Amino acid sequence: MKLWQKDTDINSAVENFTVGKDRDFDAMLAPFDVLGNIAHAKMLGVVGLLTNEEVDVLVRELKLIYADTQKASFAIQPGIEDIHSQVEFLLTEKLGDIGKKIHSARSRNDQVLVDIKLFLRHEIRQLVLSIGRLFELLQHKSEQYKDHLLPGYTHLQLAMPSSFGLWFGAYAESLVDDTETLLAAYNVVNKNPLGSAAGYGSSFPIKRTVTTQLLGFATLNYNVVYAQMGRGKAERITAQALANVADTLARMSMDMCLYLNQNFDFVSFPAELTTGSSIMPHKKNPDVFELIRSYCNRIKALPNEITMMTVNLPGGYHRDLQLLKENLFPAFGTLHDCIRMASLMFSNISVKENILADEKYKFLFSVEEVNKLVLQGVPFRDAYKKIGTAIEKNEFTYQPTINHSHEGSVNNLQTKQIAYLMASVVTRFNFNKADAALKELIH
């Protein structure tokens, strides 16, 4: 079944090529398609294109279909092109002519648009919750290991003393900014395109604000042409937000690969969380972090992939946009897996104590010795030169202690302040509005 088919059978090669993998990814849109149908049916009732009795019958049947979409057994039947056709087929099979009326005043174009926006809104919400759990773990580890000093590097050369408190806290705060970009994506996604039809509106007297309220959108895409132009743009903006999260995870994983290396020897993990070698019995490889790094680097390419797939498209709908689902949708599951595995590893990490007691790290304290002279009244450049000369003459002496008291430094991590930043970002998503609207829609 195809919503657009008339009396001519499509060539099977053309059909297979144009449908591609769309049915597989449309199954992920199933519950959201039903939600859009319920809201659309209710709006048709408000404007008089359906009777109250017809609305009641359609909504009752759609709620049953929605329950089916929550089951693992739900599938798009063979011979049916997409989820939109599947839902309409089920309605028509059960309700006859009433089921055929559901498509009045809309196009498959705005139907898939609203499905994708509802899907992305849901997935961003789940990702924010997943990030929140990792954020809390990183903050806990930051406090737990705040007194465990660690070499700080620039250019991968010894630089200044750091700490595992700073290290964990840095990636926690990075997730705050990543969540900010997810909020920006959420705000773009959280606008209702339904009612834009094929991109040029409808001659029916529809009320787009009704479906906006029923689906819990913050507002609507007002201009119907732009509503269609927004497809591809919403995906690209969302992909960039996912790439930011992926970048944090990839960089964090690279650090762990280094720190687990025997030449660094800063951390360890239980043997069951590492992997071995087929010929080297001593190996304990950081495969989890290596795979997180690679998966996330692949996600970092996603915004460019979507950009190139949509480059130079003129206004209006184009079939190119169908393929975006294949690139974007799996990225959510991949990020969830990476976050889950990172959390497993960090929940079982052991951090080595007294790392900086080793004399090979003594030059980490050169800046501390320069600053001590400055506090005694020596001009900075003179102090810098004096310590530099001592290093060159192998006469450098130091005390392996630090006292960094300013905000965000080794001895003042500002953990609570960073937690407040994250909480303030999450609050601005206002998930409750969408949750309440959808709960009302299906109950």
Domains defined for the chain, CATH in brackets = 12-103 (1.10.275.10), 108-203+221-357 (1.20.200.10), 359-392 (no CATH)
* CA–CA dist 395, 87 (Å, integer): 80
For residue 28, CA distances in Å to 80, 112, 291, 425 come to 15, 12, 25, 28
Which of 234, 232, 227, 231 lies closest to 188, judged by CA? Answer: 234
CB atoms within 10 A of CB 232: 19
Which of 322, 332, 372, 303 lies closest to 124, judged by CA? Answer: 332
CB atoms within 10 A of CB 315: 10
* pLDDT at residue 13 in the model: 82
* pLDDT at residue 359 in the model: 93
* pLDDT at residue 278 in the model: 66
Count CA atoms closer than 13 A to 233's CA, side-chain side: 16
Q: Which long-range contacts (CB under 8 A, 24 or more apart) does 152-160 make?
A: 152/364, 158/361, 158/363, 158/364, 159/364, 160/364, 160/367
* CA–CA dist 388, 92 (Å, integer): 84
* pLDDT at residue 279 in the model: 72
* pLDDT at residue 8 in the model: 60
Low-confidence ranges of the chain (pLDDT < 70): 1-10, 15, 18-19, 277-278
pTM: 0.93
